């Protein structure tokens, strides 16, 4: 058995597929009228054939909405006139069929006009050709049947639309319920990670920092200090990863200033040196590529300071201006560093990242250390 959605789609295809016969109902009788057509009826035949062409693609939802009803009313009038002028043809079928489709696709005004035109045509035909009252009533009965059939089709179409809407609402509600349950579970896991793992790693990193300072004071061996430093680095790296996991689980975009602050906190724990952050302007949410560029620049600068300068004191400034964000990183080595023979891979990668977001990068030795400045569009 198929799903409700599949069954509904099949019913709609079958329902809409029947509408393709309307062109045949409108055009074929006019074609049959051509062999016996008289000179004054050819314009009406041509008009019916031309007006029946849009029925191949026009629907109730076609824009503008008046186009389909207006076309069908014109077909009713033209086919009715052709039926009166050429009574032996089948163009009455076209008139009744066009009336049926007008009642299906139009509002009250269009339906009233179509019924009035069709009724006037039947009355005129009955008077001109001296039709007895029984046959005249039969024609009007056919018109009533068209009204009932159109009402039935419109009712069925409305039921299909209501069923589709109800099914869509039920599916949306089910998806929202599942999403809410998933988000609640992710939030619970994020809380556990933050309250247990992240706090434990932060405490471990601080204790390892204290242990390293004690070993330095007591003159411990280089091997012991190296082991403590490695353990401290693992703790700080694990803390950073735990925070990233919490942010990912909560689907929250971590602000740039928060990410930079976390990096500097890890740098302080790792090196024992000062690392200050200054925020200028009003922080705001940035494009993901821009935020990633700023955070990666700070990461690269901190890695270079550890590697090449032994972890000196740092000053980092993030300035939120009107149309750009400026990032300045200065490490204080106590002397002017020499010019490097060529930029390393880290600085090259930083420059490529900045170029991808149409930013500008300046880096080089300052008075007492290395200075990196970049500006990226906000």
Residue 345 confidence (pLDDT): 63
> Per-residue pLDDT tens for 253-294?
568 888 888 888 888 877 888 889 999 988 888 887 888 889
DSSP track, 18-54:
GGGHHHHHHHHHHHHTSTT--GGGHHHHHHHHHHHGG
CATH annotation of 272-378:
3.30.565.10
* H/E stretch holding 96: helix 91-105
The Cα–Cα gap between 105 and 60 comes to 5
> Per-residue pLDDT tens for 122-151?
999 889 888 888 888 998 999 999 889 888
Measure Cα distances from 51 to 18, 35, 83, 147 in Å. Answer: 19, 20, 16, 22
Most confident segment among 6-10, 104-108, 320-324: 320-324
Q: Spell out the domain ranges in the chain.
A: 4-131, 272-378
Nearest alpha-carbon partner for 55 in 73, 81, 37: 73
Residue 116: pLDDT over 90: yes
Residue 8: pLDDT over 50: no
Average pLDDT over residues 358-367: 86
The Cα–Cα gap between 42 and 245 comes to 78
User: Does 199 sit behind a cis peptide bond, omega within 30 degrees of 0 on the bond before it?
Assistant: no
> Per-residue pLDDT tens for 66-99?
888 888 888 899 988 888 888 877 888 889 988 8
Nearest alpha-carbon partner for 40 in 84, 90, 3: 84
Least confident of 194-208, 284-298, 330-344: 194-208
Q: Give me the percent of the chain exceeding a pLDDT of 90.
A: 11
Neighbours of 217 (CB within 10 A): 8
Average pLDDT over residues 312-333: 90
> Per-residue pLDDT tens for 24-60?
778 888 888 888 888 888 888 888 888 887 776 666 6
């Amino acid at each position: 058995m198929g799903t409700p959605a599949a069954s509904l789609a099949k019913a709609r295809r079958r329902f809409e597929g029947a509408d393709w016969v309307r062109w045949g109902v409108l055009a074929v009788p006019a074609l049959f009228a051509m062999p016996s057509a008289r000179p004054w009826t050819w314009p009406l035949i041509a008009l019916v054939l031309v007006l029946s062409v849009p029925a191949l693609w026009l629907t109730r939802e076609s824009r503008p909405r008046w186009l389909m009803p207006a076309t069908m009313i014109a077909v009713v009038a033209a086919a009715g006139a052709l039926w009166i002028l050429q009574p032996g043809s089948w163009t009455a079928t076209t008139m009744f069929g066009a009336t049926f489709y007008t009642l299906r696709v139009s509002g009250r005004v269009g339906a009233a006009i179509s019924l009035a035109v069709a009724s006037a045509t039947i009355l005129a035909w009955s008077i001109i050709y001296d039709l007895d009252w029984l046959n005249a009533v039969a024609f009007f009965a056919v018109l009533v049947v068209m009204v009932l059939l159109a009402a039935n089709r419109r009712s069925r179409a409305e039921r299909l639309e209501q069923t589709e809407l109800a099914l869509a609402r039920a599916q949306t509600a089910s998806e929202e319920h599942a999403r809410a349950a998933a988000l609640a579970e992710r939030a619970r896991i994020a809380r556990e990670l933050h309250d247990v793992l992240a706090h434990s790693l932060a405490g471990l990193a601080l204790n390892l920092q204290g242990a390293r300072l004690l070993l330095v004071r007591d003159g411990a061996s280089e091997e012991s200090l190296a082991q403590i430093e490695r353990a401290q680095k693992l703790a700080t790296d694990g803390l950073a990863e735990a925070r990233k996991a919490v942010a990912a689980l909560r689907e929250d975009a971590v602000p740039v200033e928060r990410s930079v602050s976390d990096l500097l906190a890890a740098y302080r724990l790792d090196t024992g040196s000062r690392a200050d952050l200054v925020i200028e302007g009003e922080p705001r949410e940035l494009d993901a590529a821009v935020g990633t560029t700023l955070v990666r620049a700070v990461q690269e600068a901190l890695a270079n300071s550890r590697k090449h300068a032994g972890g000196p004191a740092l000053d980092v400034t993030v300035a939120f201006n009107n149309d750009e964000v400026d990032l300045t990183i200065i490490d204080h080595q106590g002397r002017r560093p020499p010019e490097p023979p060529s930029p390393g891979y880290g600085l090259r990668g930083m420059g490529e990242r900045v170029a991808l977001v149409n930013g500008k990068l300046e880096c080089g030795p300052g008075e007492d250390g290395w200075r990196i400045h970049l500006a990226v569009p906000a």
